[in-house]
Every structure is written in structure tokens, then in C-alpha cells.
Amino acid sequence: MINEVLIDLRVEGEVLDALVAPLDDWSVPTPAPGWTIANQISHLHWTDRIAGLAARDPEAFAQALKQATPDMVDEGAHEPVTLDQWRKGRIGLADALLAVPPGVKVPWFGPPMSAASMATARLMETWAHGQDVADALGVTREPTNRLKHVAHIAVRAFGYAFVVNGLPAPQVPLRVELLGPEGDLWTWGPADADDRITGPALDFCLLATRRRHRDDLAVTAVGDNAEAWLPIAQAFAGPPGPGREKGQP
């Protein structure tokens, strides 16, 4: 499992790499307020580095966690980083996760997670911030089956999305049916659940990473809990953020 996820993580990083490597100027603004392409790459590099530290040296990560500040994510996004540093950081993270013994959890800012789950989270974030870069450059990326990792995290975070928005998490089963880019149907949850989400996998992932407004996507909900979830769905940890406005690329 970890090998398969790491391969997809590597490829996702290479896709974004191909977008930014030819650029002479990384100061192009992205849809994320105040963040340029340089900030997007710096943020990914910073998080890769911290995740690698957590995997290699949990005690050192624990010490770093004690010194964490509310502004650390934004500060990490403003640390200068070169293309070569980012590339080496991606390799270092993969090596660190591959070396985690089976059954051992990697500590994190939220609950500890398996190496495979950490790799999946890094893939999700790489894809999401890659979308910001693609939007800044006016590039349309071809959706791939790697989106299943992103969708999986979002579905798993069904209850969390309510909690982080100060709402009680629904204690009901949820059915999610997404059409993958190659025509496969991806499903989660019991087939007879009253609350259901359906739509294209790409649209769902754009929604759950808050890279598009719900009204601009072909994602539908049936049931009160499913309907309440779509506006607040998120595949990432932490504050939900403002998301995109209707019609905003």
C-alpha cells in the first residue's frame, strides 16, 4: 500500500514540477489571497520537511510542535526555497515514509497516522496547491485516478468538517458515488444510506479542497446531512478558510 501511494505522490509532485520549472518568475499571484506561486511551493516544501521530520525523528518533531505558533503555516509559505530544494525535499519525505515500520503511526499536528495515510495527505495537498498554480497560469490539468486519494480523505473527513465549523458531527451513514476520470465508479459507504453524494470525481475533489464554489460544480446531495456537508466539506485539517467565490477560477 505505501509503495503505491508513494508512486502516486511522486507523480503528482512531478506534474506540478513541470508547471513551475520553466518559469522565470514565481511571483505570479495565485487565487489564494496573498500567495504567489513561490508561496505555494514554499508551503509544500515546508510541510514535506516537517512531515519527513515526524517520520524520521518523532522526538524532534515533538519538540518542534511545542514551539509551533498560529502563524507557522503562513511563515512556512514565506520561507525562500529553490526548485532543487523542493525536489530534494520530496525525495527525502518519500524515503522517510518508506522507512516507517509497518504498524507504526507517524505523529502529526492532529491525530497520528500511518505512513500510507501521511503520503495520501501529502498527495492531496500537492494536488490542491497545484490547482492554485494551474489556475494562476491558466492551465487545465487532466484529471487522473490519483484523485481517488483526494476523494478518500474528503469522505473520511465527513464528521470532521462539521466539527471544525462548530457543528455537531452527524451520526449517520453516508454514501458517496463518484465517476472517476476513466469511467470507473468509486464508492464509499453503505449502498442503502439515506444521505448520498454523487458527481464527477474531479468536481468533488475541487469542492473538498475548496478550489471551486459548489455552484460551479456538478456535485449533488440527497438527504439533509449530505446537503449540509457539501458547503463545508474539506479534505484538509485546520480552519476551513473562505474558499472560492462563485465563478472564480
Query: Over the Cα atoms of the chain, what is R_g?
Result: 18
- Tell me if the pTM is above 0.85: yes
The CA-atom distances, in angstroms, between 56 and each of 87, 97, 100, 139, 237 are 18, 8, 8, 36, 22
Number of residues that make up the chain: 249
Choosing among 1.10.287.3510, 2.10.70.10, 3.30.1050.10, 2.40.50.100, the CATH entry for 147-229 is 3.30.1050.10
Cell matching residue 72 = 507557522
Q: Which of 195, 183, 184 is nearest to 228 (CA)?
A: 195
Q: CATH number for the 2-137 domain, one of 3.40.50.10860, 3.20.20.10, 3.40.50.300, 1.20.120.450? A: 1.20.120.450
Q: Do residues 64 and 53 touch, judged by C-beta distance below 8 A?
A: yes
Output phi, psi for 136, to 5 deg.
-65, -35
- H-type helices in the chain, by residue range? 2-20, 37-56, 58-66, 72-77, 83-98, 115-137, 147-156, 158-164, 201-208, 224-229
End-to-end CA distance of the chain: 34
* Domain range annotation of the chain: 2-137, 147-229
Q: Enter the DSSP assignment of 176.
A: E
Q: What is the pLDDT along the chain (249 residues), one digit of tens a residue?
A: 789 999 999 999 999 999 999 999 999 999 999 999 999 999 999 999 999 999 999 999 999 888 888 888 888 899 999 999 999 999 999 999 999 999 999 999 888 999 999 999 999 999 999 999 999 999 999 999 999 999 999 999 999 999 999 999 999 999 999 999 999 999 999 999 999 999 999 999 999 999 999 999 999 999 999 999 999 999 998 888 888 889 887
- Residue 239, Cβ density class (10 Å: 0-12 exposed, 13-18 middle, ≥19 buried): exposed
DSSP 93: H
* 154, HSE (Cβ side, Cα atoms, 13 Å): 34
